């Protein structure tokens, strides 16, 4: 399965069309990063350049139906670098890539795109005051009802360029070595640079989050507790802010050395009543347990009652020598734009073939997500299974979305320089307010070979199929597509 995903590139030239406030924000963030880096010359740093050259043949460059499919050969040139700064006052990472795509049959589609993923943490007052900075640029799917690309080189692909930045000052202090206090404030913006079909504009987003927490972590066989107050605000362009407030206290009551009963109570905003006032108008509770089964296994389960009804959360983790695994189920209200903050732009995991599946928009939804993964590692083999069941029940609109996904990846090291890999993925998408379900199938096979200390050769094959069941409400009958793609590449750098 190819590890290049459709969130892996963004054209910063298009970002120049951002509103002046976006440009000011990006300039301020860049200036602070440069100032911090210039003042930390005495600390350790590592600069790693790289350059990638790839040639790809695809039999369906626009992801059309079989009768209209067009083949194409694409040359991809991508110089880039990774920079890591470590020190007592500053830790920073910057990952940048400049990609050029050159098309054999449609040179008018040639383009140059930029990708950036940068983060920094500065220690302004040791053991007390910190500043976190985040800057990203990438791509995300505009509308999952249209064909979704699995790479960056498709002409007319269903992408929107997106850029974001965020600043987080935070105060951290420990009292007596047992209680940790945290006070932080997040401010960030997310900007889109492409409209939906028909000229509908994607809503840019500004977020403001404030958090105060106290944490007394439970030691083996001892009592523990936490308390927090949080206010989250998401303001979409041209709309009133959506606000969610939450105040809660949690107690951990020990039973033995490795088992705790959990009791949680709090008050939150009832988003079913209003998404704009941010009042503490709904009492909630949860109860459960936390169990350290072995030094390598942990289990946590809670159940209770929230403003949206019954609530369940659970998590299990196993960290063994040859087997690592995890299971998790979470429920929480969210807005799609905010979730972009937690998605990395650069990915090394080939088992994530698609990004989020919902159209970009300002709606608030309740997300119910179950995930599971397991990795079996041997001397030469790695086998990884991942499953996902993700449901979004919309609070501000009718309908729900449902995504189910299972992927299996395998890696085998033939020797110190040669590796083969393969993967298969199955995805089912259920759309909100649409009489339509899509089934997607993805299979990939490839190998890599190190030709020297810095030079690596790779070859990959990918097959992608999308079956459409049903039609758009009030629109034309949707069609699926298939694609075969072959890629041969050379990469210079670590």
pLDDT at site 488: 97
Q: Is residue 288 part of a domain?
A: no
Residue 122 phi, psi dihedral angles, 5° rounding:
-110, 135
pLDDT at site 345: 39
Q: How confident is the model at residue 154 (pLDDT cuts 50, 70, 90)?
A: low
Q: How confident is the model at residue 155 (pLDDT cuts 50, 70, 90)?
A: low
Stated pTM of the model: 0.78
Q: Which residues of 39-53 are buried (b: 16+ CB within 10 A; e: fewer)?
A: ebeeeeeeeeebebe
Contact 410, 381 (CB under 8 A): yes
Query: What CATH number does the domain containing 426 carry?
Result: 2.40.160
Q: Which structural domain, as residue segments, surrounds residue 42?
A: 12-202+320-493
pLDDT at site 31: 53
Contact 349, 384 (CB under 8 A): no
User: 435 or 243: which carries more pLDDT confidence?
Assistant: 243
Q: Where are the beta strands (DSSP E) in 395-471?
A: 400-413, 418-430, 435-450, 455-471
Q: How confident is the model at residue 21 (pLDDT cuts 50, 70, 90)?
A: very low
Tens digit of pLDDT for each residue in 400-443?
888 899 999 999 999 999 999 999 999 888 877 667 788 889 99
CA distance 480 to 427: 14
Q: How confident is the model at residue 128 (pLDDT cuts 50, 70, 90)?
A: very high
Residue of 315, 314, 262, 321 lying closest to 295 (CA atoms):
321
Reduced to 3 DSSP states, what percent helix, strand and coil does the chain have, rounded to the nearest 5?
10, 60, 30
Residue of 493, 487, 412 lying closest to 456 (CA atoms):
493
CA distance 339 to 327: 20
DSSP state of 192: E
CA distance 430 to 437: 5
pLDDT at site 203: 74
Q: Is residue 471 part of a domain?
A: yes
Q: Tokens standing for 317?
A: 């983790």
Number of domains in the chain: 1
Beta strand pairing call for 435-450 and 455-471: antiparallel
CA distance 113 to 198: 25
Tell me which residue has tokens 């949707």: 478
Q: How confident is the model at residue 12 (pLDDT cuts 50, 70, 90)?
A: very low
Contact 230, 269 (CB under 8 A): no
Tens digit of pLDDT for each residue in 108-127?
888 887 888 899 999 999 99
Q: How confident is the model at residue 257 (pLDDT cuts 50, 70, 90)?
A: very high
Task: Say whether pLDDT at 269 is over 60.
Answer: yes
Alpha helices (H) along 259-298? none
Q: Cα–Cα distances in Å, from 459 out to 55, 150, 348?
A: 10, 17, 16
Task: Say whether pLDDT at 29 is over 60.
Answer: no
Tens digit of pLDDT for each residue in 285-337?
999 999 999 999 999 999 999 998 899 999 999 999 899 999 999 988 876 65
Task: Say whether pLDDT at 484 is over 90.
Answer: yes
CA distance 113 to 111: 6
Q: How confident is the prediction for the chain on average, in pLDDT?
A: 81
What value does the mean pLDDT take over residues 131-150? 73
Task: Say whether pLDDT at 22 is over 60.
Answer: no
Task: Say whether pLDDT at 53 is over 80.
Answer: yes
What value does the mean pLDDT take over residues 10-39? 42
Q: Is residue 44 part of a domain?
A: yes
Q: Is residue 368 part of a domain?
A: yes
Q: Is residue 303 part of a domain?
A: no
């Amino acid at each position: 399965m190819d590890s290049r995903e459709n969130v892996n590139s963004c054209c910063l030239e298009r970002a120049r069309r951002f509103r002046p406030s976006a440009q000011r924000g990006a300039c301020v963030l860049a200036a602070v990063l440069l100032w911090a880096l210039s003042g930390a010359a005495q600390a350790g740093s590592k600069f790693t350049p790289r350059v990638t050259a790839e040639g790809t043949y695809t039999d369906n460059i626009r992801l059309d139906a079989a009768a209209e499919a067009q083949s194409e050969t694409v040359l991809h040139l991508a110089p880039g670098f990774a920079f890591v700064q470590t020190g007592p006052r500053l830790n920073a990472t910057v990952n940048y890539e400049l990609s050029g795509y050159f098309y054999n049959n449609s040179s008018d589609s040639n383009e140059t795109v930029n990708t950036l993923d940068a983060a920094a943490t500065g220690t302004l007052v040791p053991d007390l005051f910190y500043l976190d900075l985040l800057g990203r640029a990438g791509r995300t799917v505009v509308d999952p009802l249209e064909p979704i690309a699995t790479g960056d080189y498709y002409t007319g692909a269903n992408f929107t360029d997106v850029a974001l930045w965020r600043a987080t000052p935070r105060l951290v202090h420990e009292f007596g070595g047992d209680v940790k206090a945290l006070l932080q404030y997040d401010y960030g913006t997310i900007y889109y640079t492409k409209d939906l079909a028909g000229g509908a504009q994607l809503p840019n987003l500004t977020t403001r989050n404030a958090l105060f927490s106290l944490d007394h972590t439970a030691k083996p066989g001892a009592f523990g507790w936490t308390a927090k107050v949080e206010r989250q605000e998401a303001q979409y362009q041209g709309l009133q802010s959506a606000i969610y407030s939450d105040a809660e206290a949690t107690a951990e009551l020990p039973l033995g050395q490795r088992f705790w009963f959990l009791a949680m109570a709090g008050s939150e905003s009832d988003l079913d009543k209003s998404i704009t006032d941010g009042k503490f108008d709904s009492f909630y509770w949860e109860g459960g347990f936390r169990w350290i089964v072995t030094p390598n296994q942990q289990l946590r389960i809670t159940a209770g009652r929230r403003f949206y009804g019954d609530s369940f959360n659970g998590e299990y983790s196993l960290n063994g020598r040859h087997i690592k695994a995890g299971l998790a189920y979470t429920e929480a209200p969210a807005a799609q734009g905010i979730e972009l903050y937690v998605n990395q732009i650069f990915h090394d995991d080939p088992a994530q073939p698609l990004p989020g599946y919902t159209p970009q928009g300002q709606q608030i939804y309740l997300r119910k997500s179950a995930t599971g993964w397991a990795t079996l590692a041997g001397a030469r083999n790695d086998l990884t299974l991942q499953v996902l069941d993700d449901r979004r029940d919309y609070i501000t609109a009718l309908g729900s979305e449902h995504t189910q996904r299972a992927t299996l990846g395998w890696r085998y090291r033939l020797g110190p320089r040669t590796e083969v890999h393969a993967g298969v993925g199955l995805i089912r998408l259920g759309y909100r307010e649409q009489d339509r379900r899509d089934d997607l199938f993805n299979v990939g096979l490839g190998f890599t070979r190190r030709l020297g200390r810095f030079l690596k050769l790779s070859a990959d094959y990918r097959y992608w199929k999308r079956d459409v069941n049903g039609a758009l409400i009030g629109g034309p009958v949707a069609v699926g597509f298939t694609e075969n793609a072959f890629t041969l590449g050379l990469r210079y750098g670590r």
